[in-house]
């Protein structure tokens, strides 16, 4: 069937109708998510007065919300985008672990790959948001609860077994490494080496991106700060420095594509052959909340690659998804319907 004439964005040539067709296929794909599940807790309250004990505000608690964060947010985005997601991770036998498992059960996500660990703390980021009676709440404090011990060898063995088993059913693998020990280069390398057929493997690593150089990663989605940390660089408006760091990582990790998220500057896509595409931010450059936007980008980019999209097409899809999610407050997701509506809206605007 012949497609209508291609629609082009202002930045790079892409067929926006092809992007929509790709997103429509999301529901036919199965993606394994290996990574660190984090609980994002939001405690809302009203400022009642200044304490007599110290020069601090007293927050009168109103409500607490707990939503998936970190790798759990990436898994949540994959599910919202329509994919069948198979998470492989570890959580503690605590209330945060209970809440995360309960959330995914309600979304009918297979939780058999989530291993419970006795005596281990589910990583939790507790944010306190304060405001007056008729004002918008602002974050005033964040308290992080992190595991104090490494995952036991018995748990690592269980994770490896679950990972290998789930990977046999996958069209793609997304890795969300927040540094809590679930995802490791060795685990990925061992599991992927057993596969006869190659599949897209996308990585989002908070630390030590290049440690995955021999793990068979095909794509990575670091943000600019993570790329700077890897190379000891300061990028800012320096496109030459961005190009140097991006090409160095692409080469060192032998990637098929490297997608660098740059906040209000959009994204930069590096491919072999010294190809660099800079895509402006989708929508407004005044983000409401960037919490978890990288998780959304990882999910959308992985799914698009799983559907056979080119790196440039996948980058546009991920950029649009990221632009949508930063306009929402808190740790949020983008649905397949929202993404399709945004792409079709952009296509209509380009055609008029």
For the chain, the domains span 16-38+68-120+150-351
> With 60 as the cut, is the pLDDT of residue 3 above it?
no
148-177 tens-digit pLDDT:
999 999 999 999 999 999 999 999 999 999
Q: For the chain, give the percent of residues with pLDDT over 90.
A: 79
pLDDT higher at 130 or 84: 84
Q: Which residue, 224, 192, 194, is CA-closest to 209?
A: 224
Looking at the structure, give the CATH architecture of the domain made up of residues 16-38+68-120+150-351: 3-Layer(aba) Sandwich (3.40)
Catalytic residue of the set 15, 177, 204, 295? 295
Residue 295 is a catalytic residue:
yes
> With 50 as the cut, is the pLDDT of residue 42 above it?
yes
What is the model's pLDDT at position 12?
59
Q: For the chain, give the percent of residues with pLDDT over 70.
A: 95
| Average pLDDT value for residue range 195-209 | 90
Q: How many CB atoms lie within 10 A of CB 8?
A: 14
277-307 tens-digit pLDDT:
999 999 877 777 788 899 999 999 999 999 9
């Amino acid at each position: 069937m012949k497609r209508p004439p291609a629609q082009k964005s202002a930045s790079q040539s892409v067929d926006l109708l092809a992007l929509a067709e790709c997103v429509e296929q999301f529901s036919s794909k199965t993606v394994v998510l290996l990574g660190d599940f984090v609980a994002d807790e939001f405690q809302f309250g009203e400022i009642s007065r200044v304490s007599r004990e110290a020069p601090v505000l007293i927050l009168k608690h109103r409500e607490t919300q707990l939503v998936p964060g970190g790798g759990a947010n990436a898994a949540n985005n994959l599910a919202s985008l329509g994919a069948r997601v198979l998470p492989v991770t570890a959580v503690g036998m605590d209330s945060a672990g209970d809440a995360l498992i309960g959330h995914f059960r309600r979304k009918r996500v297979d939780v058999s790959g989530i291993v419970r660990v006795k005596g281990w703390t589910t990583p939790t980021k507790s944010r306190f948001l304060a405001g007056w009676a008729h004002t918008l709440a602002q974050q005033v404090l964040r308290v992080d609860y992190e595991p104090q011990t490494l995952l036991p060898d018995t748990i690592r063995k269980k994770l490896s077994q679950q990972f290998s088993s789930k990977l046999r059913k996958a069209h793609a693998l997304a890795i969300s490494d927040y540094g809590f020990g679930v995802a490791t280069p060795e685990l990925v390398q061992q599991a992927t080496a057993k596969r006869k057929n190659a599949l897209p493997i996308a990585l989002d690593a908070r630390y030590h991106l290049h440690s995955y150089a021999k793990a068979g990663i095909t794509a990575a989605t670091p943000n600019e700060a993570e790329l700077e940390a890897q190379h000891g660089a300061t990028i800012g408006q320096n496109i030459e420095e961005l190009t140097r760091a991006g090409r160095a990582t692409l080469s060192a990790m032998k990637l098929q594509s490297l997608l660098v998220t740059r906040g209000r500057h959009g994204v930069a896509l590096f491919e072999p052959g010294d190809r660099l595409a800079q895509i402006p931010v989708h929508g407004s450059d005044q983000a409401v909340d960037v919490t978890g936007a990288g998780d959304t980008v990882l999910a959308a980019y992985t799914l698009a690659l799983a559907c056979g999209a080119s790196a440039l097409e996948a980058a546009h899809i991920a950029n649009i998804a990221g632009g949508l999610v930063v306009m929402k407050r808190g740790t949020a997701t983008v649905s397949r319907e929202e993404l399709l509506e945004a792409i079709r809206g952009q296509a209509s605007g380009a055609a008029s």
